Chains A and B, each alone.
Chain A
Amino acid sequence: MGKWSRRAFISGGIISGGAVLFGIAIRPGNRVAKVAPLISDTNDTIFNVWLKISPNNKITVVVPHAEMGQGAHTTLAMMLADELDADWNLVEVLEAPAHKEYANYALAKGYALGDLNFPSWLVDTIDGFFLTATQAINLQITGGSTAVRTTGKFAMRVAGASTKAVLLEAAASTWNVPTDELTTKNSIIQHTESSRSAPYSEFAAIAAQLKQPVKPNLKMPDEFQIMGTNVQRLDIPSKVDGSAKFGIDARPPSLKFAAIKTAPVFGTKLKSVDEVSIQNMPGVRKVIQLDNAVAVIADGYWQAENALAALKFVFEDDGNELVEQSDIFKQFENDMNNAIKNSAEITDFQKGDINAALESANHIVEAEYRVPYLSHAPMEPMNCTAWVHDDICEIWTGSQDPLGFAAQIADALEIDVGNVLLHNEFLGGAFGRRAFSDYAIQAAKIATEVPYPIQLIWSREEDMRHDYYRQASISRFEAALDNSGIPIAWINQYVEKHDPVEAPYIPYAIDNQHIHFTESKTHVPWGFWRSVDHSLHAFFTESFIDELAFAATKDPYAYRRDLLADSPRFLHALDTAAKKSNWDSPLPDNWGRGIAIHKSFGTIVAQVIEVEVLEGRVVPRRAICAVDAGFAMHPNGMEAQMESGIVYGLTAALYSEITIQHGAVAQSNFHDYPMLRINESPIIETYIINGGEQIGGGGEPGTPAVAPALVNAIFNATGKRIRQLPIRLHDLSTKELSSKDVA
């Protein structure tokens, strides 16, 4: 990854507020003048904010997303480079600075309009409107699996194609030949008739003066040269020799280190600190009191940690210290019951006539499921380096939302956002956690108290105890089956809804449905966790459909198949996973096979998991994954994301549970919040289906179907239906009647 030159950034000035900005790649008008000083070396020609062409024909692609391991930098660069017919070997990536000009308007648009294709006459209006809206809320977020499907589609590809168009126009006029006699390949323009050819860089200066087409022709999949191939990821070489720079690796001059303790009970305040208790400890520089936390700055991090451990301080009590995990589940139950009693339920989705269906039913099946709070636990604990100097607050960190971070830091320090200079480094994992700026604000506040830069590092314990947690939840189901076992009614009530809206929806053709929920707020902070609400609802719905198959004495794959008869995309993914798993082949004793399918972020994932239950211990042996994301821009990267999502999902389903004890998180580190390790990791096979629909996400959709496929496999092996996660809470040392016995 290239680096922004700080001097260029500062001397170029920061665009002052109030400027009217337009869609960069889609709207007409050349926006580059303002951004040029920020990314230009003297001899580069800037086309628009998404790319620049250097005199040596090197193309630098500016990517408005953070690299957190999902390969966004490479994939987005591929999309632009392909439309540009660029020489991939001469392509470099630069992450966009935290700057308004790069606001992720494509993301807002993708969200707001459900990723639709717009009629051309609407495009300008929509872009202008959404760009303004997005900038207003400071989005440059990497999340929601949006990099490829929104930024890639609406910005990178358009930028590549429209830049190619003006390069061709410039070449045509220079050589005085018709544009359509020109061809492009590997960053070279060729005119066969006159045997002339020249690199893009030769026409860059002229082309930059031309008006770029608003809606250039984009390639059809059969014309792709780079998209859909497995180029090597650009960030990987630096990640094998230790040279990759993460937030924690920032080393500004005279750096000191800070350790912090935030009030264990969420929302409580710092009451008092006895600073004298550590004043003679080695290396200690200063104790900083924040509203709800106390920090120690020292010459080294270990000294800061030791001093913090010795420091005497008291947090206030505010009543939440009395809350236990069991109280929270009790509150959920009460709120759910009361909502029904008082008809205060909020409807998610409704169709058909539930009551009539229930009356005509042959058989009613009921079940209740529970999931715990979850922590993100990325490998790199939260950290941020801050330095207040020369009227600016300079920040080094890893953020999924650098623009938002800059704005929130500015708010917290009561300074102009233009005076926050944020360097976004590689993210050592994020999974949603690094969309929240709490740690960066802490660092910035600490830095205002000292003349030197400080690096605030959260211990793993702080990281686990001050996360924004995936919600705990209860989900209740009631289904009516007709006399052939087909579901004719599906009623689902759950607690705590967040995003996305469609997470609890089912793909199955069931005529009568009522999906509804209850809000039940707790003092535990909530955050986006890889796949967000899909992470719980896929477990609920895909477990319950398995229970219905069992009640109907049908094979769970065949049962789903019947209910998906009118959904060819789902069927194709389901069939692929089942076939690749040899669904009907017998398994050894104590082994089981489970299936699940779920669509999230536009991508359908079907998984079959095989487990062995060894003296009560669950060992996932094999995971087969069929994924239809419309089109896989980088198939190897898509596979990597599926592997990653599966391991993440297995960790959560088998082990993960954050519990509240005396108002605070009980878990603290990897010994009591364990991670799946390599010896527990199954063989993973991924099969990519390029279904040709709208492109879906890759970073999140691998996770949701894992938990249900796994519990369904355990049921198949043992006859034990697990309705509460994590799985390790359950005794699986004995067997009951299972799907094996009926199928």
Chain B
Amino acid sequence: MLTLTINEDRYDLDIDPQTPLLWVIREQVGLTGTKFGCGIAQCGACTVHLDGKPIRSCTTPVFAAVGRTVTTIEGIKNESGELHPVQQAWIEEQVPQCGYCQSGQIMSAIALLQKNPLPDDTDIDNAMRGNICRCGTYPRIRKGIQRAAKMIAIAPQKKKTIDG
């Protein structure tokens, strides 16, 4: 038996500790937003956060997540259910096409903005190069991240004016 914390929920699972986290999330836990693309850490479709850092869940054995915090695409809305600024920006910029890579793209983008709140295009390229988009949404991913960065930057000020 092994215990996982995913999106703040606790799961007790009877499972081979070597099983890649990806399949545990998709099959045992039943969260299907995280995708399988290559299985060898080449495409980024399976990106989730482990203690806030982006990882490839297809090559991460589930035991490595025990005692740590896993966040998937289903767990990034805020407490009141509002979309994360990156998700909002993705809608504004109309980023997704087929959409299959986008959970992974969004998880990588959020991790980037947590580390670097005002990335330029080179920072974006470096942080996002592990995520393939076969539909070629790269120009919009750049715009989406820039927009989200601005939204995050002005969010606290907005709050202040409302408070004041």
Contacts and interface: CB of A to CB of B under 8 A. Distances in A.
Given A669-B40, A677-B129, A378 B99 contact: no
B4 interface: no
A240 B76 CA distance: 10
Given A379-B133, A644-B97, A678 B138 contact: yes
Contacts, number: 174
Interface string B65-93: 00000001110010000010001001100
Q: Do most interface residues of chain B lie in helix, strand or loop, or is the interface mixed?
A: loop
A377 interface: yes
B36 A240 contact: no
Interface string A639-670: 01001111110000000000000000000011
Given A70-B97, A670-B42, 6 more contacts: A235-B99, A236-B94, A645-B136, A675-B134, A678-B128, A683-B139
Contacts of B126: 679
A525 interface: no
A66 B12 CA distance: 39
A425 to B, nearest CB: 11
B91 A242 contact: no
Nearest to B100: A428
Interface string B19-34: 1100100011011111
Contact of A241 (B83, B94, B135, B141): B83
B9 to A, nearest CB: 15
A427 B98 CA distance: 6
Nearest to B141: A678
B142 interface: yes
Nearest to A636: B94
B51 interface: no
Q: Give the residue among B35, B129, B140 with the most A Cβ atoms within 10 A.
A: B35
A647 B27 contact: no
A418 interface: no
A236 B91 contact: yes
Given A300-B23, A378-B98, A241 B131 contact: no
B45 interface: yes
Interface in A230-274: 232-233, 235-246, 248-249, 251, 257
Interface string A533-547: 000000000000000
Contacts of B55: none
Contacts of A236: 90-91, 94-96, 99
Contact of B34 (A242, A300, A679): A242
Contacts of B36: 248, 381, 457
Interface of B: 16, 19-20, 23, 27-28, 30-40, 42-43, 45, 72-74, 77, 83, 87, 90-91, 94-103, 106, 124-126, 128-142
Interface string A674-685: 011111010110
Interface residues of A, number: 61
A232 B94 CA distance: 7
A428 B35 contact: yes
A459 B136 contact: no
A334 B141 CA distance: 47
Interface string A397-412: 0000000000000000
A69 interface: yes
Given A242-B33, A378-B134, A669-B42, A678 B23 contact: no
Contact of B132 (A301, A427, A428, A670): A670
Nearest to B76: A241
A640 B97 contact: yes
B43 A379 contact: yes
Contact of B139 (A240, A248, A303, A681): A681
Contacts of A301: 23, 27
Q: Give the top 6 A-B pairs by smallest Cβ distance, nearest first.
A: A242-B33, A647-B136, A428-B100, A239-B99, A69-B98, A69-B97
A674 to B, nearest CB: 9
A277 to B, nearest CB: 19
Contact of A242 (B16, B72, B97): B72
A245 B137 CA distance: 20
B100 to A, nearest CB: 3
A669 B35 contact: no
Given A237-B91, A679-B129, A429 B137 contact: no
A235 B94 CA distance: 10
A332 interface: no
A380 B46 CA distance: 11
A107 interface: no
Contacts of B74: 241-243
Contacts of B133: 379, 647, 678
Contacts of B131: 677-678
B154 to A, nearest CB: 20
26 contacts: A240-B90, A240-B96, A240-B106, A241-B87, A242-B33, A244-B99, A249-B32, A251-B30, A251-B32, A302-B19, A303-B16, A379-B133, A380-B98, A380-B100, A427-B98, A429-B100, A429-B135, A457-B36, A459-B39, A644-B135, A645-B136, A669-B38, A675-B134, A677-B131, A679-B125, A681-B138
A240 B19 contact: no
B139 A379 contact: no
Contacts of B103: 242
A626 interface: no
A426 interface: yes
Nearest to A644: B136
A105 B98 CA distance: 25
Interface in A298-327: 300-303
Contacts of A428: 35, 98-100
A157 B130 CA distance: 42
Q: Give the residue among A239, A640, A644 with the most B Cβ atoms within 10 A.
A: A239
A671 interface: yes
Contacts of A178: none
B160 to A, nearest CB: 28
B32 A242 contact: yes
Q: Give the residue among A243, A379, A429, A644 with the most B Cβ atoms within 10 A.
A: A379
A68 interface: yes
Nearest to A427: B98
Q: Give the residue among B38, B99, B141, B142 with the most A Cβ atoms within 10 A.
A: B99
Given A249-B32, A678-B138, A379 B132 contact: yes
